[in-house]
Structure 1
Amino acid sequence: MTLDDLRVFVAVCRAGSLSAVARDLDCTQSAVSQHVKRLERETGISLVERHPRGVVPTQAGRLLQAAAADGIAGLDLALRRLSDLVRGDAGSVRVTTGATSVRHFMSEAVVAFRRRFPQASLEFQTETSSRSCFDALASHDLDLAWITIGGTVRGIEQRPVMDLPWVLAVRSDDPLASRSRIEPEDLASIRHIRLPENSTSRAHLDDAFAALGVRVTSDTGVADWDTAILLAELGLGHAVVPALPGWRGPGHRGLRFVPVPALPPLSTGWAVRRWDALAPLARAFADSVVESCARLT
Structure 2
Amino acid sequence: MLNTALKYFLAVVNAGSLTVAAQKLHVAPSAVSRMIKKLEDKHQTSLFDRHARGMVLTEAGELLAAYARRAYLESERAHAEIRDLSYIGQKLIKLSANQAFGRELLPRAIGEFRKIEPQVSFELNVLQSSEINRRVRKGEDDIGLSYNLSPPEGVHIQYARRMPVFAVMSPDHALATRPTLSMRDIADWPVALMGPGSTIRFIVDLCCMHEKIKLNIALTSNNQGAIQNFCRDWGIISFSGDLTVLESLESDKLVAIPMTNDELRQRTLHIQTLSGRELPLSAERFVQRVIHHIDTSYEGKRLQQLAWPLANDPSS
Relative to the length of structure 1, the TM-score reads 0.74
2:227 & 2:55 partners in 1: Cα distance?
Answer: 36
Residues 1:181 and 1:143: Cα distance change in structure 2 (over 3 Å)? same
- The Cα of 1:236 is off from its aligned counterpart by 7.4
Q: What letter is aligned with 1:285? A: F
Superposition pairs of residues 256-275 of structure 1, within 5 angstroms: 256-262=255-261, 263-264=264-265, 266-274=267-275
Per-residue Cα deviation, 1:143-183 (whole angstroms, up to 9, x for no partner): 21122244354431224344333222234454333433212
- Whether the 8 Å CA contact 1:96–1:145 is kept in 2: the answer is yes
Counterpart position of 1:114: 114
- Whether the 8 Å CA contact 2:180–2:257 is kept in 1: the answer is yes
Which of 9, 14, 19 is residue 11 of structure 1 equivalent to? Answer: 14
Q: Does residue 296 of the first structure (1) align with residue 294 of the second (2)?
A: no
Report sequence identity in percent.
13
2:186 & 2:116 partners in 1: Cα distance?
Answer: 46
1:190 & 1:25 partners in 2: Cα distance?
Answer: 59
- Whether the 8 Å CA contact 1:40–1:47 is kept in 2: the answer is no
SS in 2 for 1:221: strand
Counterpart position of 1:235: 234
2:122 & 2:226 partners in 1: Cα distance?
Answer: 24
Residues 1:110 and 1:25: Cα distance change in structure 2 (over 3 Å)? farther
- Whether the 8 Å CA contact 1:166–1:261 is kept in 2: the answer is no
Unaligned runs of 5+ in 1: none
SS in 2 for 1:277: coil
- The Cα of 1:210 is off from its aligned counterpart by 4.0
SS in 1 for 2:257: strand
- Whether the 8 Å CA contact 2:97–2:146 is kept in 1: the answer is yes
- Whether the 8 Å CA contact 1:190–1:238 is kept in 2: the answer is yes
1:184 & 1:48 partners in 2: Cα distance?
Answer: 52
- The Cα of 1:44 is off from its aligned counterpart by 6.3
Residues 1:66 and 1:169: Cα distance change in structure 2 (over 3 Å)? same
Which stretch of the first structure deviates more once superposed, 233-242 or 282-291? 233-242
- The count of residues paired between Structure 1 and Structure 2 equals 279
- Whether the 8 Å CA contact 2:166–2:240 is kept in 1: the answer is yes
Superposition pairs of residues 168-179 of structure 1, within 5 angstroms: 168-179=167-178
SS in 1 for 2:77: helix
Counterpart position of 2:123: 124
- The Cα of 1:68 is off from its aligned counterpart by 3.8
- Whether the 8 Å CA contact 1:222–1:228 is kept in 2: the answer is yes
2:235 & 2:164 partners in 1: Cα distance?
Answer: 23
Q: Does residue 82 of the first structure (1) align with residue 78 of the second (2)?
A: yes
2:61 & 2:186 partners in 1: Cα distance?
Answer: 44
Superposition pairs of residues 154-193 of structure 1, within 5 angstroms: 154-193=153-192
Counterpart position of 1:72: 68
SS in 2 for 1:47: strand
Q: Considering only aligned residues, what root-mean-square deviation do their CA atoms show, in Å?
A: 3.9
Superposition pairs of residues 24-173 of structure 1, within 5 angstroms: 47=49, 49-50=51-52, 57=56, 61-88=57-84, 90=87, 91-99=91-99, 101-119=101-119, 121-173=120-172
Unaligned runs of 5+ in 2: 299-316
SS in 1 for 2:219: strand
1:56 & 1:193 partners in 2: Cα distance?
Answer: 44
Residues 1:166 and 1:220: Cα distance change in structure 2 (over 3 Å)? same
- The Cα of 1:134 is off from its aligned counterpart by 1.7
2:220 & 2:213 partners in 1: Cα distance?
Answer: 18
Relative to the length of structure 2, the TM-score reads 0.70
